Amino acid sequence: MTCCEGWTSCNGFSLLVLLLSGGVLNAIPLIANRVEEGKFFQNPISCFEWWFPGIIGAGLMAIPATAVSLAARKRACCNNRGGMFLSSFLNVITIIGAVYCVLVSLQALFQGPLICNSPSNSTCEFSVDSLTTHPQSFDLRWFSKASCVAPNSLNSSTTTSELHASPKEKRHRTIHFSTFVGLLLVGILELLFALSQIVIGFLGCLCGVSKRRSRIV
């Protein structure tokens, strides 16, 4: 087995682990909302898990490249120049999905869960505009504060709630932060593995791979 085949097999296994991890992470807030509220879309933890960055971006879009990379091992059907080229080509799709996962995760981390937003911005809006970032939104103070509830949403008789977050708020913030930090790491790692496979796939296409050895009877 050449280094191209060994690295391709390693990339395939790594992408498999990452795409499964992305799907599981994306499902965590969905399951938590289902258990807590009893139905989907009713007071969700945030809107961004419904963009499915881990299930679609880091998951489904990485399956073709993962399958070909795992098949491009010694004595496998894709163990040839064409298979190596195909693995490089399909990893372009993986890169697109990984970038999508990273962008959605970053936006989710900057905005925080719905419980931290103002009442006027506490509903899910599924549009490309909702993924637009602004320089002033690049902070994670919603997670570091004792309570992320905006002061202007509190009246004078409940200002002490700024210092003490409710159990529900703590739970939503922890789930939101853990989910999208995990998805951000998954997206970055998938991007790195996909880029490396594009390079190694072209090398395997140019230099060739090991030939099958005939069995001696």
- Which residue has better confidence, 74 or 176? 176
pLDDT attached to residue 16: 96
Give the C-alpha separation, 38 to 202, whole Å. Answer: 50
For residue 169, pLDDT over 70 is answered with: yes
Q: What is the pLDDT of residues 89-118, one digit of tens each?
A: 999 999 999 999 999 999 999 888 888 876
pLDDT band at 216 (very low <50, low <70, confident <90, very high): very low
pTM higher than 0.85, yes or no? Answer: no
